[in-house]
Amino acid sequence: MKKNYLIPILLISICAIWGGSFVVVKVIVDEIASIQLGFLRFLVATPIMFLLILLQNKKVKIPLKEFPSLVVLGLTGVTLIYIFQYIGIEYTTASTSSALININVIFIALLSSIFLKEYFSFKKTLGITLSFVGVIVIILSQSANEQIEFNSLFLLGSLFILLSAFCWAIYSIVGKKLLKRYDSLTVISYAFLLGTIFYIPFILSDFSNFTLDISFNGWLSIFYISILCSVFGYVGWYYALNQIEASKAAVFLNTIPLFGIVISYFITKEIPTYFFLIGAILIIYGVYITQKTKDKKARQ
């Protein structure tokens, strides 16, 4: 019973950290290119993960037969997810990309039903839907001052955001299947290592602009997204996936834009709109319904 309460607290904490990353990254985007930032994020996080394995005496070896799955994890959860996301944000708007990225909740729900045979009751479907509608309401309430121009680049950017969301869904489903056989720290460490290696071709293509002349606040931002967002966030996410259904964990992702906007309010001193509060209520209630739904045995 105690664990049942700890998992939601863990997931909320992770989503709050991930939501805060949108604010933190603003500190450094003017100093270093987005792809380089992604590379440095995992260049710092990867050795920390392997150090944790050694400190906890975890098994480092994973059979060679799992290499294809680890490659998928590295590409979808480390490399492609952020490359697609950065390009998408460049060609769309902040509110549009925030709304589209949360479709990963729907992708995870669909993939978990297909590949993990998770049972979907009416209440669980209702909870996921309400929570996602809450995200849309919040994003629309924040986008009143944004000028959106629907053109080919905007549509291309939207497609890249959807690809980024799909990457996270694949990462979560493939990872959950590996967790049944191997330790989460080991799985994530290899995913980080491979994903960092896969960044190298993108870094080399623009290596002339690569720089480590970063301010103190910039390095603080890098350590935030490396240690809190990557190490704690990914380890915590996979731990939760190993304890509850993927669809139940995924619905918490809808709170990320909520936390991001709330944190921005503390910095900008803006007052939340009524639509923001309505959206927040929908998200919280949707998460509540989904978590209260009893798990049923996987379909055969």
Domain assignments of the chain as residue spans, ordered by start: 2-292
Report the SS3 class of residue 9: helix
**Predicted local confidence at residue 226, as pLDDT:** 94
Which pair of tokens denotes residue 39?
Answer: 């590379």
Model pTM above 0.85: no
Which pair of tokens denotes residue 205?
Answer: 């293509």
Residue 16 has pLDDT above 50, yes or no: yes
Residue of 153, 188, 152 lying closest to 172 (CA atoms): 188
**Contacts with 230 (C-beta within 8 Å, 6 or more apart), sequence order:** 41, 42, 45, 192
* Distance of alpha carbon 220 from the chain centroid: 20
Q: How many CB atoms are closer than 10 A to CB 271?
A: 6
List, for residues 224-280, the tens digit of each pLDDT value: 999 999 999 999 999 998 888 888 888 888 888 778 777 776 765 556 677 777 877
Do the Cβ atoms of 108 and 246 come closer than 8 Å?
Answer: yes
Residue 151: DSSP 8-state: S
198 half-sphere exposure, CB direction, 13 A CA radius: 20
Residue of 80, 116, 31 lying closest to 297 (CA atoms): 116
List, for residues 147-177, the tens digit of each pLDDT value: 555 567 777 888 888 899 899 999 999 998 8
**Predicted local confidence at residue 51, as pLDDT:** 93
**Contacts with 45 (C-beta within 8 Å, 6 or more apart), sequence order:** 192, 226, 227, 230, 231
Which contacts of 58-61 are long-range, i.e. CB under 8 A and separated by 24 or more positions? Answer: 58/183, 58/185, 58/186, 59/182, 59/183, 59/186, 60/186
**Predicted local confidence at residue 236, as pLDDT:** 94
List, for residues 179-218, the tens digit of each pLDDT value: 888 888 999 999 999 999 999 998 887 666 666 778 888 8
Confidence of residue 105 (pLDDT cuts 50, 70, 90): confident
Percent of the chain with pLDDT over 70: 83
Q: Which of 15-19, 82-86, 104-108, 293-297 has the lowest mean pLDDT?
A: 293-297
